[in-house]
Structure 1
Amino acid sequence: MLIVPEREIANLMTRQAAFEAVEKVFAAMAAGDAYNFPVVREAIGHEDALYGFKGGFDRAGLTLGLKAGGYWPNNLEKRGLINHQSTVFLFDPDTGKVKAMVGGNLLTALRTAAASSVSIKHLARPDARVLGMVGAGHQATFQLRAALEQRSFDKVIGWNYHPEMLPNIQKVADEAGVPFETVELNGMRQADVIISITSAFAPSLMADHVAPGCHVACMGTDTKGKQEVEAALLARATVFTDEVAQSVQIGEAQHAVAQGLIAESDVTQIGAVINGTHPGRDSDDQITLFDGTGVGLQDLAVAASVVDLAVQQGIAITVDF
């Protein structure tokens, strides 16, 4: 078995490599060459933690495995650790033997950011110039770095439940040489692209906060009950997702479907746009929305990529298991 420790990931995995792995697996999913297993995600009744498993099988890439982990909201304050903790396990699809164990914390941030940036590439207007950020936590910095590589943005605007955290994303904008401005939520109407990355259970971004022609990437809702945007926004938008079943069960679409504002058939896999079987955006004033729920195949794709890199560079640890 190969082990790639968390400490090695930063020197191995790039944003571009993560982007390519996620885009490829989204395309495979839409083509029917890869599928996710049902998600297990539970409140464990200790430390307010959510813990679960996401897995799947990519026949095209011969990648089989799962990610185990979740969200420990007290980690940062109590222990100086990031709140998201996870590990990816890969198995040989020919024999079922365990193949690799990979640190999943940084990979989770990279693959989540890659998913939203894939959606920006394929759904945002080519002339998008203002990028809005709703959320300013650890994950938001990864989202912003990846998004800035997809369009020639002139300005970043930001809002957060806790305004004292906004310097986290302002620093990223400053490093990229893009002006940053703090706004109220109604100021998001000036944005051509909005990324929402919070862990909220009540919406902050409302339908009236989003202007025609905007692309919205909702990246924080991955559990039943979570909600970042008003359900009415999905009724106004053309909705895309990583996986439809997961979107309507635990993603942002769960609320709009429950309220009868949209049907499951109104949600389209973004892989269909990547493959060219769906046109994606069809007008400059159309609102597009990507419901990024986070699928196991994303984790497996980036983990498999990083294992290959670790082997090439002689960094992977081999153990007899």
Structure 2
Amino acid sequence: MFLVPEREIAGLVTAADCFTAVEKVFASMARKSAYNFPVIREAIGHADALYGFKSGFDRESLALGLKSGGFWPGNADKGLTNHQSTIFLFDADTGRCRAVVGGNLLTALRTAAASAVSIRYLARRDAEVLGMVGAGHQSAFQLRAALDQRDFKKIVGWNIEPRMLGRLDEVARERGIPFEAVELDRLGAESDVIVTITSSFHPILKASQVKAGTHLACMGTDTKGKQEVEADLVAGATVFTDEVAQAVTIGESQHAVAQGLVAEREIVELGRVINGDHPGRTSSEEITLFDGTGVGLQDLAVASAAVDLAIAKGVAIEIDF
């Protein structure tokens, strides 16, 4: 069995590696060659923590395993990342544990890769202004990945605590792209692509604030009750997702579906667009929305890539288990 510690991940896996892994697994899911097992996510009644499992199997890559972890809101005071996770990979032929992989950075990278895949396939080719709603830890990963998909000329951002927008400004400076903190009305009026990455339980962005032709990647809603955008905004968009079953239960689509504004059958797997089975965006005026719920197969795909790279570079720790 191999161990790939968290400390090694940054030197092993690039954003491009994660983009390729996530793109492939979305395509495999749409071909019904890969499937996710039911998600377990629970408040444990200690340290205000949410803890759970995401798991699945891809018959094409033979990735089999699970990610275990969750959210510990008090970790920042301990010098730790609030999100903590570990990925376990198993040999699909024997069931033996193949690897244990640090999952914190990989989770951030695969989440950013998912929204980046949606931008690659669904955003208008002439998109020039990128809007960011949210400025937490994950936002910097989201911003870097999004900037790789289009020739953006400007970034605008909003956060409930404006002081945190410095994180986005720093990334913009790295890329040499102007950044401006704005109110939501202006963000929606100017942005061609909007990434939402918050932990909100109340809608932040309204349908009236988003212009025609916008692509939205809604990445923060992964739990029952969470909500980043108005249900009417979801209803007015063509909705794509990583997995329909999760989108309608714990994703951004849950509210529009519950209110009867969107039917489950109307939501499209992004993998179908990747495979050429769905046209994706059909006009420059269409609003497209990617409901990124985060599926276990994404974690297994990027972890598998990390293990292969760690073995090749001689940094994987092999133990008899």
For normalisation by structure 1, the TM-score amounts to: 0.99
User: Hey, what's the Cα distance between the residues in 2 that align with 1:236 and 1:176?
Assistant: 33
Paired residue type of 1:173: A
User: In the alignment, what sits opposite 2:157?
Assistant: 158
* Aligned twin of 2:124: 125
Aligned to 1:51: 51
Residue in 2 that maps onto 1:217: 217
- 2:26 equivalent in structure 1: 26
Give the C-alpha shift of residue 289 in structure 1.
0.1
1-side partners of 2:251 and 2:62: how far apart? 27
Alignment pair present for 1:37 and 2:37: yes
Q: What residue is the counterpart of 1:307 in the other structure?
A: 307
Cα distance in 2 for partners of 1:224, 1:32 equals 25
Give the CA deviation at 1:247: 0.4
Shift of the alpha carbon at 1:72?
1.2
Q: Which amino acid aligns with 2:116?
A: S
Residue-by-residue CA offset, 1:122-173 (whole Å, 9 max, x unaligned): 0000000000000001100000000000000000000001111000111001
What is the percentage of aligned positions where both structures have the same residue?
68
Give the counterpart letter for 1:3 in structure 2.
Answer: L
Q: Give the 3-state SS of the residue equivalent to 1:7 in structure 2.
A: helix
1:152-191 aligned at under 5 Å gives the runs: 152-188=151-187, 189-191=189-191
Distance (whole Å) between structure 1 residues aligned to residue 297 and residue 199 of structure 2: 22
TM-superposed deviation, 1:305: 0.3
Partner of 1:66: 66
Distance in 2 (CA, whole Å) between partners of 1:124 and 1:158 is 18
Aligned partners of 1:44 and 1:173: how far apart in 2? 38
Match of residue 134 from structure 1: 133
Q: Following the alignment from structure 1 to structure 2, what is the Cα–Cα distance between the partners of residues 283 and 182?
A: 30
The one-letter code sitting in structure 1 at the alignment partner of 2:173 is D
Aligned to 1:146: 145
CA positional deviation for 1:209: 1.5
CA distance in 2, matches of 1:276, 1:261: 27
Q: Which residue of 1 aligns with 2:103?
A: 104
Equivalent residue runs for 1:228-267 within 5 Å? 228-267=228-267
Question: What is the CA–CA distance in structure 1 between the aligned matches of 2:167 and 2:73, rounded to whole Å?
Answer: 18
In the alignment, the residues of structure 1 paired with residue 205 and residue 81 of structure 2 have an alpha-carbon distance, to the nearest angstrom, of 25
Q: Quick one: distance in 2 between partners of 1:74 and 1:255?
A: 29
Q: In structure 2, what is the equivalent of residue 79 of structure 1?
A: 78
Structure 1 residue 207 displacement after superposition:
0.8
Contiguous gaps of at least 5 residues in structure 1: none
Paired residue type of 2:85: S
Whole-angstrom distance in 1 between the partners of 2:263 and 2:50? 28
Deviation at 1:204, TM superposition (A): 0.5
CA apart distance, 1:241: 0.2
Task: Tell me the equivalent position of 1:280.
Answer: 280
Q: Structure 1: which amino acid aligns with 2:178? A: P
Q: Structure 1 CA distance, aligned partners of 2:27 and 2:109?
A: 18
Partner SS, residue 115 of structure 2? helix
CA distance in 1, matches of 2:97, 2:200: 36
1:97 deviation in Å? 0.6
- Partner SS, residue 248 of structure 2: helix
Counterpart of 1:282, as a letter, is T
Deviation at 1:81, TM superposition (A): 1.0
SS in 2 for 1:249: coil
Using structure 2 for the length normalisation, give the TM-score: 0.99
Q: Describe the superposition over 1:12-53 as per-residue Cα deviations: whole angstroms up to 9, x where unpaired.
A: 000000000000000000001100000000111112111100
Counterpart-to-counterpart distance in 2, 1:142 and 1:276:
28
